[in-house]
């Protein structure tokens, strides 16, 4: 039987077959758009009663509080915790899934909670550049204006009619997290949606000001 | 686009939600004791008022939680949104407030 290292060498990310297109697809210029896949990030689904003893032990393991409101993201460094629902969170982490799940489960042994490794559920497509928000606005029903969608905010919404998690890092950087089986569709849609921003603006027209 | 207020996520487009029918229809305490007619009444018969109506909605495109809403079936206006832990709003006072608002 193949060991884990062999298997990890064989695995392919959801956008493996589109790597060349993503590399060749970026739109340069004043309204630049870049696409980048972050494959194999550790993601753990976490369900627990907020404010309970178990929740506090979990917060101790993660080294950060669980976000309390829709959109909130907590955590610096290795783990980020995204709000998915009033009793449901997604931990996105750079540590190995086995060790993270084991340490979270050890915090929940005598409490009621659910900790599941769902790293293979989604992939992460980073959309960055001056026109990143304009590209997403073409297919996302949520209000992405900075007054409604602040930096380091993540919401569950849809993009091109497909359910995604949308995580805003800063004004020009967004992480789109579609299910793995829909990742190629979302990436193809993003490549197509970004195409129009390659054309130069008409003479005398400045790029849209930040926040407009 | 109609926007609906989710108790947890705030205002979102109607396309993120699904409808769950009349709210506060309690499961019978002893289903096996019901006659066929009473069981059919529980399963299939629902109110159909013209005016405020307490309904269940689910935010399937967001936090995936169920909640209750009072919606005016004439205008599609949402008069109240509340979770199953919140006290039930008084539908008749919502109705009169709505009428007052309409005439003001």
* Residue of A155, A159, A166 best to disrupt the B interface, most CBs of B under 10 A: A155
Nearest CA in chain A to B6: A70
Please give the Cα distance from B59 to A158 (Å, whole number): 13
Place of tokens 């976000």: A67
- Structural domain containing residue B71: 19-24+46-104
- Which value does ipTM take for this structure? 0.80
Cβ-defined contact of A85 to B12 (cutoff 8 Å): no
Give the burial string for B28-50 (b: 16+ CB within 10 Å, else e): eeeeeeeeeeeeeeeeeeeeeee
pLDDT in tens, chain B (104 residues): 899 999 999 999 999 999 999 999 999 999 999 999 999 999 999 999 999 999 999 999 999 999 999 999 999 999 999 998 888 888 888 876 655 544 43
* Closest-CA distance of chain B to residue A165, Å: 9
Residue A13 dihedral angles phi and psi, to the nearest 5°: -70, 160
Integer CA distances (angstroms), B31 to A41, A48, B20, B21, B37, in order: 49, 32, 22, 21, 12
Cβ-defined contact of B9 to A86 (cutoff 8 Å): no
- Structural domain containing residue A70: 42-117
Please give the Cα distance from A144 to A137 (Å, whole number): 7
Cβ-defined contact of A70 to B61 (cutoff 8 Å): no
Nearest CA in chain B to A84: B63
3-state helix, strand, coil in chain B (%, to 5): 25, 30, 40
CATH code, domain with B97: 3.30.2270.10
CATH code, domain with A109: 3.30.70.1520
Cβ-defined contact of B15 to A85 (cutoff 8 Å): no
Residues A27 and A50 occupy one common structural domain: no
Tell me whether strands A79-85 and A153-159 are parallel, antiparallel or unpaired: unpaired
Give pLDDT tens digits for A21-48.
888 776 777 788 999 999 999 999 999 9
């Amino acid at each position: 039987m193949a060991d884990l290292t062999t298997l990890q060498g064989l695995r392919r990310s959801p956008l493996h077959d589109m790597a060349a297109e993503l590399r060749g697809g970026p739109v340069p210029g004043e309204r630049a758009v870049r696409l980048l896949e972050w494959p194999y990030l550790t993601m753990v689904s976490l369900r627990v009663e907020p404010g309970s003893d178990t929740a506090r032990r979990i917060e101790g393991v993660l080294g950060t509080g669980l976000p309390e409101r829709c959109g909130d993201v907590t955590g610096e460094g290795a783990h980020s915790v995204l709000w998915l629902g009033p009793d449901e969170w997604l931990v996105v982490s750079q540590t190995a899934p086995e060790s993270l799940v084991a340490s979270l489960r050890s915090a929940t042994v005598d409490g009621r909670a659910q900790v599941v490794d769902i790293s293979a559920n989604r992939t992460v497509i980073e959309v960055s550049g001056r026109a990143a928000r304009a590209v997403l606005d073409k297919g996302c029903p949520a209000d992405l204006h900075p007054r409604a969608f602040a930096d380091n905010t993540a919401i569950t919404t849809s993009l091109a009619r497909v359910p995604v998690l949308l995580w805003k890092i800063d004004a020009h950087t967004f992480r789109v997290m579609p299910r793995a089986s829909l990742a190629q569709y979302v990436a193809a849609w993003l490549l197509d949606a970004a195409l129009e921003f390659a054309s130069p603006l008409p003479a005398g027209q400045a790029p849209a000001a930040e926040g407009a | 686009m109609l926007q609906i207020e989710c108790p947890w996520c705030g205002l979102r487009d109607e396309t993120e939600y699904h409808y769950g029918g009349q709210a506060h229809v309690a499961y019978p305490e002893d289903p096996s004791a019901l006659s066929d007619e009473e069981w059919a009444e529980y399963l299939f018969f629902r109110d159909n008022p013209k005016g405020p109506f307490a309904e269940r909605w689910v935010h399937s495109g967001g936090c995936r939680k169920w909640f209750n809403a009072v919606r005016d079936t004439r205008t599609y206006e949402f008069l109240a949104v509340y979770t199953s832990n919140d006290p039930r709003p008084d539908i008749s006072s919502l109705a009169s407030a709505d009428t007052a608002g309409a005439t003001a």
